[in-house]
Amino acid sequence: MAGKTFPWVLAPVPWADGAQYTRGSHDGLPLLSYGCAPRDRLATYRQLREMGLRPGGQDPVAVLYVRHHESGKTSFASLYLIDLAKPVRPMTPAKWTALAKANLGRRICPQCGKDHGYVIPPSLGCCFTCVMANETGERERQAA
C-alpha cells in the first residue's frame, strides 16, 4: 500500500443536524479530505483571517487532510465553525508604532548603520553593500 488510507465513515458532526460521511477521526475530531468540507460552515485559521475573522477561543470541530502527491506527505489543518468566529481585533496606534519600530530594526545594517529600505537577510548579517565590501577586502588581503 502506498500510504495510510482513511475509509469513509458515517458519523455525527457538530456542523450538521444528522450524520455525514467523514474519513474517520484524527485526534478525536472528524477527519475530512480536501474538497469535502462545507465551505459555507467550516474554515481553516487562514481562511478565517481572509474573511476578517478569528476563531475567538473556540476549539476546532474537524480536521482537514491533504495528500501531496509529489512529496507523498499528508498535511493536516484544523477547521473552525464560521458562525462562532469573532471579528479580528483592530490594530491600535500603539501596536502600529511597535510594529514600525520592529521593522525599522530589521532594515538597519549593523555594520554601516544605514537604513537600506529592505530587510537585512539574517543569513548575511549585513546589507549587500557591506557584504561586497567585505568580500573585496578579503580578496585584496589574500592577493597581498
Are 66 and 17 part of one and the same domain?
yes
> Pick from 69, 87, 105: which residue ends a domain?
87
What contacts 32, CB < 8 A, 6 or more positions away? 22, 23, 42, 62, 63, 64, 65, 79
Looking at the structure, tell me whether residues 82 and 100 fall in a common domain. Answer: no
| Cell numbers that stand for 24 in this block | 474517520
Report pTM: 0.68
pLDDT tens string 23-51: 988 888 999 988 888 999 999 999 999 99
pLDDT value of residue 142: 74
Does one domain contain both 48 and 26? yes
Cell 456542523 -> residue: 15
Q: Is residue 2 part of a domain?
A: no
**What domain range includes position 16?**
9-87
Give how many domains the chain has, as a whole number. Answer: 2
Residues 53 and 100 grouped into a single domain? no
**22 with 40, same domain?**
yes
- Residues 39, 77 within the same domain: yes
Shared-domain flag, residues 54 and 122: no
Higher pLDDT, 94 or 69: 94
pLDDT digits (tens, 9 = 90+) for 3-27: 567 888 898 898 988 888 899 888 8
Residue 3 lies in a domain: no
57 and 125 belong to one structural domain? no
